[in-house]
Homo-oligomer: A and B are copies of this chain.
Amino acid sequence: MTESWATFGADLHLDLAAGRGLRAGLTEALREAARSGRLAPGTRLPSSRSLAADLAIARNTVAEAYAELVAEGWLTARQGSGTRVAERARPRRAAPAPAAARVRPPARRGPAYSLISGSPDLGSFPRAAWAAATRRALTAAPNDALGYAVDARGRVELREALAGYLARARGVYAEPERIVLCAGFAHGLMLMAKVLRARRVRDVAVEGYGLDIHRDLLTEAGLRTHPLRLDGAGARTDELPGTGAGAVLLTPAHQFPTGGALTPRRRAAAVDWARTTGGLILEDDYDGEFRYDRQPVGALQGLDPDRVVYLGTASKSLAPGLRMGWMVVPDALLEEVLAAKGHTDWTSGAVEQLTLAEFIRSGAYDRHVRGMRMRYRRRRDAVVEAVSERASVTGVAGIAAGLHVVLDLAPGMERPVLQAAAGQGLALEGLSAFRHPTTDLPAREAVVVGYGTPPDSAWSLTLSALLSSLP
């Protein structure tokens, strides 16, 4: 921490009691600030000249007050390092109360390695390119971009950049007018849950395997979830007519977590169901950018932009910490989505929206995705090859795309493998953690290997830990 503020003129708030001499009041105020811990031990005080100017009093008054407190031991003064609150001054307030302590996350003594799915390699975030895009975006931004948002959809610069990108790379029909920016996929799903409840929808079909936090989010919004069966060809959308659902949440490009791509026949079945019943399809295109051996699988939204709400995110292609997502919304639904979002725009800040727009426009986004695709593909190849000889692994699924694969295990092996992984200091999830609680799919023993997660520097040790966990 650079403590340059004394030089540059920092603010120091002091309650000068009324009706006392200036010097006495200032002395007491400083003493109280040090005694109470409001000014932490070691804090550097403004120079007497600077504080005197702030308070519009004589510099000598400040110097005398400082001297008195140094004499009392509350402050220390040393040539060259200025006047500071003495280290022995102890704060009034006790340590944080138990309530606060309980909500504090546990100290990070977690596993040494992680293959938990759902994260990109954060070590490869293009920091320098992102900072450069921020600088360019800020240079070009109009003043009003920094003001209160006037459009609940988010900045038009980013919606235009995304419209071009999504059409080109993901086969999405996306006009900027129908794009609504949000703070990641979960935020978009929450908005859609609100819209569905406002339309009096009660039931949403989901995939038999999926993320519990997404199911919980729907449940908390007052919706019931109904699991569709699924197989290597994705969710059984032919079951939709029997569910009574008003909407379905799908991961068509790469089923999460089992890894299949929804087949053309099943895509058609989903769209037919939506057209016949007036239902909505929520398309979670979480890792559509990352496909390897096969023909790219376009977004389902291209089949019927009036019945599909497309949801995308920068969480896998760049980093979840950006809190940046987007929805492409059917015309007829736009007003409802914006009403759910509300006047107060919780979207990411304007600077990050403008930065991502510049990042896409300049080609840096394509460049980053392409580079990551090659890295992830090498990691996938390494996993697939390394486990090919393991007796416990009966199959590898979902290898064509994404940032994870599913290793099917011999019966009874999921729990022992997870325990062995924990013993190796490796965070790893079993497939059963993703199973919908009421699905009648046969139990499947497998582990989900999020090979995208480790930084490059930890990759080979992480892979070794995985192999050591697999008999």
Interface stretch of the complex, out of A7-15, A197-205, A402-410: A7-15
User: When the two chains form the complex, which single residue of B9, B15, B99, B103 contacts A332, counting CB atoms closer than 8 Å?
Assistant: B99
Are A10 and B168 neighbours in the complex by a CB distance under 8 Å? yes
Are A9 and B177 neighbours in the complex by a CB distance under 8 Å? no
Are A346 and B349 neighbours in the complex by a CB distance under 8 Å? no
User: Which residues from chain B contact A165 at a C-beta distance below 8 Å?
Assistant: 11
A4 CA to B145 CA, complexed, in Å: 25
User: Which residues from chain B contact A350 at a C-beta distance below 8 Å?
Assistant: 319, 321-323
Interface stretch of the complex, out of A146-154, A382-390, A432-440: A146-154
Interface stretch of the complex, out of A37-45, A65-73, A276-284, A413-421: A37-45
Are B344 and A187 neighbours in the complex by a CB distance under 8 Å? yes
Interface stretch of the complex, out of A231-239, A366-374, A441-449: A366-374
A169 CA to B138 CA, complexed, in Å: 28
Per-position binary interface string of chain A over residues 82-121, scored 1 when its CB falls under 8 Å from any chain B CB and 0 otherwise = 0000000000010011011111110000000000001100
User: Which residues from chain B contact A289 at a C-beta distance below 8 Å?
Assistant: 11
Rounded to whole Å, the gap between the CB of A381 and the closest CB of chain B is 16
Are B167 and A39 neighbours in the complex by a CB distance under 8 Å? yes
User: Which residues from chain B contact A7 at a C-beta distance below 8 Å?
Assistant: 363
User: Which residues from chain B contact A177 at a C-beta distance below 8 Å?
Assistant: 96, 100-101, 104
User: When the two chains form the complex, which single residue of B128, B146, B332 contacts A319, counting CB atoms closer than 8 Å?
Assistant: B146
Rounded to whole Å, the gap between the CB of A342 and the closest CB of chain B is 9
User: Which residues from chain B contact A8 at a C-beta distance below 8 Å?
Assistant: 363, 366-367, 370
User: When the two chains form the complex, which single residue of B16, B40, B169, B349 contacts A324, counting CB atoms closer than 8 Å?
Assistant: B349
A16 CA to B171 CA, complexed, in Å: 12
A79 CA to B184 CA, complexed, in Å: 41
Across the interface, name the chain B residue whose C-beta is closest to A106: B150
User: Which residues from chain B contact A14 at a C-beta distance below 8 Å?
Assistant: 171, 296, 298
User: When the two chains form the complex, which single residue of B11, B104, B134, B346 contacts A323, counting CB atoms closer than 8 Å?
Assistant: B346
A37 CA to B164 CA, complexed, in Å: 11
A330 CA to B296 CA, complexed, in Å: 52
In the complex, whether A213 has a CB less than 8 A from a CB of chain B is yes
User: Which residues from chain B contact A54 at a C-beta distance below 8 Å?
Assistant: 296
Q: Scan residues 141-173 of chain A and give those whose CB is less than 8 A from a CB of chain B.
A: 141, 143-152, 164-165, 167-171, 173
Rounded to whole Å, the gap between the CB of A106 and the closest CB of chain B is 10
User: When the two chains form the complex, which single residue of B93, B97, B138, B455 contacts A131, counting CB atoms closer than 8 Å?
Assistant: B138
Are A40 and B147 neighbours in the complex by a CB distance under 8 Å? no
User: When the two chains form the complex, which single residue of B1, B9, B93, B331 contacts A100, counting CB atoms closer than 8 Å?
Assistant: B331
User: Which residues from chain B contact A425 at a C-beta distance below 8 Å?
Assistant: none
Per-position binary interface string of chain A over residues 308-350, scored 1 when its CB falls under 8 Å from any chain B CB and 0 otherwise = 0000000100011111100000011011001000011111111
Per-position binary interface string of chain A over residues 178-203, scored 1 when its CB falls under 8 Å from any chain B CB and 0 otherwise = 10000110110010000000000000
In the complex, whether A36 has a CB less than 8 A from a CB of chain B is yes
Are B139 and A127 neighbours in the complex by a CB distance under 8 Å? yes
Are B143 and A13 neighbours in the complex by a CB distance under 8 Å? no
In the complex, whether A295 has a CB less than 8 A from a CB of chain B is yes
Rounded to whole Å, the gap between the CB of A94 and the closest CB of chain B is 10
User: Which residues from chain B contact A345 at a C-beta distance below 8 Å?
Assistant: 323
Known: A8-B363, A146-B321. 4 other contacts (CB 8 A): A10-B363, A13-B168, A146-B319, A349-B349
Interface residues of A (CB under 8 A from B): 1-5, 7-16, 18, 36-40, 43, 54-55, 93, 96-97, 99-105, 118-119, 122-123, 125, 127-128, 130-131, 134-135, 138-139, 141, 143-152, 164-165, 167-171, 173, 175, 177-178, 183-184, 186-187, 190, 213, 217, 264, 289, 295-296, 298-299, 302, 305, 315, 319-324, 331-332, 334-335, 338, 343-352, 361-363, 366-367, 369-370, 455
Could you pull out 13 A-B pairs where Cβ atoms are within 8 angstroms? A10-B169, A11-B169, A36-B173, A38-B171, A38-B173, A96-B331, A99-B331, A103-B338, A104-B151, A131-B131, A187-B344, A321-B349, A322-B350
- Ranked nearest first, the 3 interchain pairs of A and B with the lowest CB-CB distance are A321-B350, A11-B169, A146-B319
